[in-house]
Amino acid sequence: MQPFTTLSTNGAPLALANIDTDQIIPKQFLTTIERKGLGNGLFYDFRFDENGNPKPDFVLNQEAYKGTQLIIAGPNFGCGSSREHAPWALLDFGIRAIIANSYADIFYNNCFKNGILPIKLPQEIVEELMAQANGHNCRFDIDLEAQSVTAPNGKSYHFDIEPSMKRALLLGLDDIADSLTHSNKIADYKAKQKLLTPWL
């Protein structure tokens, strides 16, 4: 997993509440367990019309937001089914961070397991940041170690994060890699258990 330390990027405002995982990555794209290529289906029904042509009014199709790594979203982002394809699609598209007032719990946790930083801020601050994400000189700076977001106007905001999740992102550790950092302790435990229960 790619570590997350700092991010400097323009931000794409997506001022819709209750964006669910089927809107993030529709069901027809769930036939694979490959992570590469899922970015093509990200927000498919928002991005494309019935003929597969890009919708020019959708934010991620606009030139000013090309290459963005940050989405500033409405509340309850990632609700609906628990599909892990949703953060996979976001990451494959290039999204490394999301700012919203709230998230569905499973989606929120899945983001950390895949190298995406979901930042929670009060709704009034999210709306301030959306207003500044106007596509022109709208550079946002995120510092995970400092737990801060600096807006284009220079104002900084602190966000809270669970320490173990912060550590995993900073080091680029998914659950398996994090477990393997304790390999010596695991080996010691296995050796002791073998002596205590030789019949197993």
Q: Which tens digits make up the pLDDT trace of 43-52?
A: 999 999 999 9
Does some domain include residue 1? Answer: no
Q: How many domains does the chain have?
A: 1
Local structure of residue 77 (DSSP, 8 states): B
Does some domain include residue 77? Answer: yes
Res. 141 pLDDT band, cuts 50 70 90: very high
Q: How large is the average pLDDT for residues 99-117? A: 96
- The domain that contains 83 carries what CATH number? 3.20.19.10
Question: How far is the C-alpha of 172 from the C-alpha of 5, rounded, in Å?
Answer: 9
Does some domain include residue 134? Answer: yes
Say yes or no to pLDDT of 25 above 90.
yes
Q: Which domain holds residue 151?
A: 6-196
Q: How far is CA 169 from the centre of its chain?
A: 11
State the DSSP string of 96-127: -EEEES-B-HHHHHHHHHTT-EEEE--HHHHH
What are the structure tokens assigned to 176, written together? 């398996």
Does some domain include residue 13? Answer: yes
Question: What's the pLDDT at 46?
Answer: 96
Res. 175 pLDDT band, cuts 50 70 90: low
Does some domain include residue 10? Answer: yes
Give, rounded to a whole angstrom, the gap between the first and last alpha carbons of the chain: 35
Q: How large is the average pLDDT for residues 188-199? A: 76
Question: What's the pLDDT at 112?
Answer: 95
Say yes or no to pLDDT of 182 above 70.
no
Does some domain include residue 137? Answer: yes
pTM: 0.87
